Amino acid sequence: MSDALFSVFAVQAAGPEANPLSLFFPFILVFAVMYFFILRPQQKQRRELQQMVEALKKGDRVETIGGIIGTIAGIQKDYVVLKTGDSDNTKMEVLKTAISALRKE
């Protein structure tokens, strides 16, 4: 029985060789799918976030990646000053790269 199976596999193995390019086709297909469904949307989101950060102005209400919500009291080159409390006049400096969203409140 094992000799019969071995001869079947031997006949299949002795067939014509596959095109080397066809071996890479699944990898190319997976990369293309990843590019269009993962990488491209991330690039678009990153570009939109960069445009939003560049357009920030004093008085805008923003949210940071840490969940802090505040109003911009001042803008410097690399950071902004956020006013986080209304009554106690609390201010903190936050990097512009830490701003995640512009609040509409």
What digits encode the pLDDT tens for the residues 11-58? 555 456 778 778 888 999 999 999 989 999 999 999 999 999 999 999
Maximal CA-CA distance, the chain: 88
| Alpha-carbon separation of residue 71 from 6, 51, 77 (angstroms) | 75, 18, 17
Answer yes or no: pTM beyond 0.75.
no
Which long-range contacts does 80-85 make (Cβ < 8 Å, 24+ apart)?
80/56
Structure token pair of residue 28: 């190319």
